[in-house]
Amino acid sequence: MTTLTPAPADPQAAFDSRAFRNALGSFPTGVAIITTTGPDGKPIGLTCNSFSSVSLEPPLVSWGLRLASKSLEAFRQAGAFAINVLAEDQKELSARFASGAVADKFDGVAWAPGHRGLPVIAGSVATFECDKFAEHLAGDHVLFLGHVARFDHGREEASLVFYKGAYMMLTQSLRELAASGRMDSAHLDQARRLINCMLLRLACQNGSPDDFDAIERNIVEIENYAGAAQRAEASIEFFRLVTKAAHNDVLVVVAETLTTLVRHVLQTDTTLRARPELVPVRRKILAHMRERDPDAAECEMSHYFDQLRRDVAAQEAHT
C-alpha cells in the first residue's frame, strides 16, 4: 500500500524552482534553432531545446518560448516557423543563436529560403517547415504548435543533445575514452583535480550555509564508517556535494561523468583501503569554504589529490 504525503498548505512556499529545473534537466533533449521572418522580411532565429512532436495525423509539432524573450512578438506575429534540428558538429551554431550579444545571428551562416520564405539552416540533421497551427499561454512561456508543411531528414549524423545544462557529447566522449582504455589513472586524477578545484572555487562563492552543513554531515559519516568501500562511496558523495554547492549546471555534467568513471575504478580496485588521514583535509576544505576563501580551499584540495596520487603511485610500485 502506497502512503501519500500530504501537500503543504502553501505549495508555492515549499516549491524549489532550482531543484525543479535540475530534475527537468535529467531528461536529455535535442537542440534546434527555430527560425522565422520578421515583418521587414529579415530572418529571425533562436536556440531551443523544447521542441517535441505532437501528432502524426495531422502532422503537428510544438516548442515553447519564454515571455521575456525579445523575439516573442516576432514569432507571435509570424504565420510560420521552421525547426532546424542540429547535428553534433553544429554546437557553435547553437551557442551563436542562444547569445544575446550577437546582433546579426545569420551573418556568415549558410541558409536558404524554404516554405513561405522561412530560413532553413544548411547542414541540419532534420528540418520541419511549419504553418502556425495555434499558440497557447502556458505559465511563463508561450507554446507554439506548428502544422508541418515540409520536412527534410537528409543528413545521417548524430544529433546535438542537451543534458543537465550541457552538451551530452562531452559526457559521451569521456565515457568512450575510458571504455577504450585510453584514460589511465594519472589522466583521470589530473582531470578530477582540475574540475574539482574549479567547482570548489565556485562553491566558495555560490554555496549556501545549507550546502556547507550537508558537506559537514557527510564528513561525519565518513568518519563513522569502518569499511573501506563505505568510506569510498561517502567520499564520492563529498565531491558531489561540493559540486552541488557550486551551483553551475554546466560543470555538473563534467563532474558527474568523472564521478561515474571514479566509481567504476573503485569497484574494480582490489587494493582499496580506508584513508583516515584525509578526513582532516576535508574539514580544512570545508572551513575555507565557510570563510569564502577560494585560494586556501583550493590549496587544501590540491593537498588532498597529492596525497591520493602518492598512495596510487606507491601501490603501483608494489605491483
pLDDT at 134: 97
Q: What integer best gives the mean pLDDT of the chain?
A: 81
pLDDT at 5: 45
The CATH H-level (homologous superfamily) assignment of domain 168-317 is GntR ligand-binding domain-like (1.20.120.530)
Place of cell 527537468: 24
pLDDT band for position 1 (cuts 50, 70, 90)? very low
Q: How far is the CA of 168 from the CAs of 28, 89, 153, in angstroms?
A: 8, 12, 22
Asked if pLDDT for residue 314 goes beyond 70, the answer is no
Q: What is the CATH number of domain 12-163?
A: 2.30.110.10
The one-letter code for the residue type at 202 is L
pLDDT at 100: 82
Give start-end residues of each CATH 2.30.110.10 domain in the chain. Answer: 12-163
Least confident of 6-20, 122-136, 137-151: 6-20
Using one digit for the tens of pLDDT, what is the confidence trace for 178-218? 555 555 566 667 777 888 888 899 999 999 999 999 999 99
Give start-end residues of each CATH 1.20.120.530 domain in the chain. Answer: 168-317
Give the C-alpha separation, 102 to 95, whole Å. Answer: 10
More confident: 302 or 250: 302
Complete DSSP assignment for 96-133: HHH-SS-S-TTTT--EEE-GGG-EEETT-SEEEEEEEE
Between vectors from CA 159 to CA 192 and to CA 33, what angle results, nearest 5°?
Answer: 105
Give the C-alpha separation, 132 to 145, whole Å. Answer: 6
pLDDT at 137: 96
Give the C-alpha separation, 284 to 291, whole Å. Answer: 11
Distance between first and last Cα of the chain: 53
More confident: 88 or 184: 88
